[in-house]
């Protein structure tokens, strides 16, 4: 009996490792796709924002979830809409981004407090968190790496004279890639063994 229990623990550990690797591979693939098709990604994320806002309106009309949770959700979608205007450029130091993150944290806290006190089935709680809280921020998080590969344009608010021109500013920023895709590339290069090509 003890041996089978230890095997079940080992099995759960192996399954957790495989699930983690599958999620990491999926995130890497999504980041690659978003970098390649930024216009399509903006279109899809915009529709995700609209659908999430419509879900909040539907919850206000058809369900008795507190109004303040749905109002926070609608405010969250307005902030996401403001963030998506300049897509794929997402400035993490902008006021809109900071307000969106703060509202997301507060919305999570209020939702945990409500669903902790009022009984709903696990699938209903998971549906609320997935569709109302996680889908759009997750899509924006995955698309943060698309900003690293955007070509400079004259539309950026940079003077075109002197050392602060668009190209110099772009190339100086390229030296510091802090994105989801660069993290996965670093992990791939440092963890996975490199195969050398045979010359024959």
Contacts of residue 75, defined as CB under 8 A and 6 or more positions apart, other chains included, come to 103
- Look over the chain and give the mean of its residue pLDDT values, rounded to a whole number: 80
pLDDT surpasses 80 at 1: no
pLDDT, tens digit, 9 for 90 and up, residues 55-108: 999 999 999 899 999 999 999 999 999 988 887 777 778 899 899 999 999 999
For residues 181 and 128, the answer to whether their CB atoms sit within 8 Å is no
pLDDT for 161: 46
> Is 40 a residue whose pLDDT tops 50?
yes
Rg (the chain; Cα; Å): 22
What pTM did the predictor assign?
0.67
């Amino acid at each position: 009996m003890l041996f089978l229990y230890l095997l079940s623990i080992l099995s759960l550990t192996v399954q957790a490792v495989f699930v983690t690797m599958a999620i990491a591979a999926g995130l890497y693939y999504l980041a690659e796709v978003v970098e390649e098709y930024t216009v399509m990604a903006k279109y899809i994320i915009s529709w995700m924002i609209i659908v999430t806002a419509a879900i909040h309106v539907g919850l206000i009309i058809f369900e008795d979830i507190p109004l303040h949770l749905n109002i926070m959700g609608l405010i969250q979608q307005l902030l996401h809409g403001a963030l998506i205007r300049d897509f794929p450029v997402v400035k993490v130091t902008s006021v809109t981004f900071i307000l969106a993150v703060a509202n997301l944290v507060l919305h999570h806290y209020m939702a945990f407090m409500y669903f902790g006190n009022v009984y709903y089935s696990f699938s209903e709680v998971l549906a609320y968190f997935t569709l109302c809280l996680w889908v759009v921020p997750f899509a924006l998080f995955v698309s943060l790496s698309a900003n690293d590969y955007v070509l400079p344009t004259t539309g950026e608010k940079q003077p075109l004279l002197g050392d602060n021109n668009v190209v110099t500013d772009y190339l100086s920023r390229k030296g510091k890639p802090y994105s989801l895709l660069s993290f996965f590339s670093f992990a791939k290069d440092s963890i996975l063994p490199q195969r050398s090509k045979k010359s024959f």
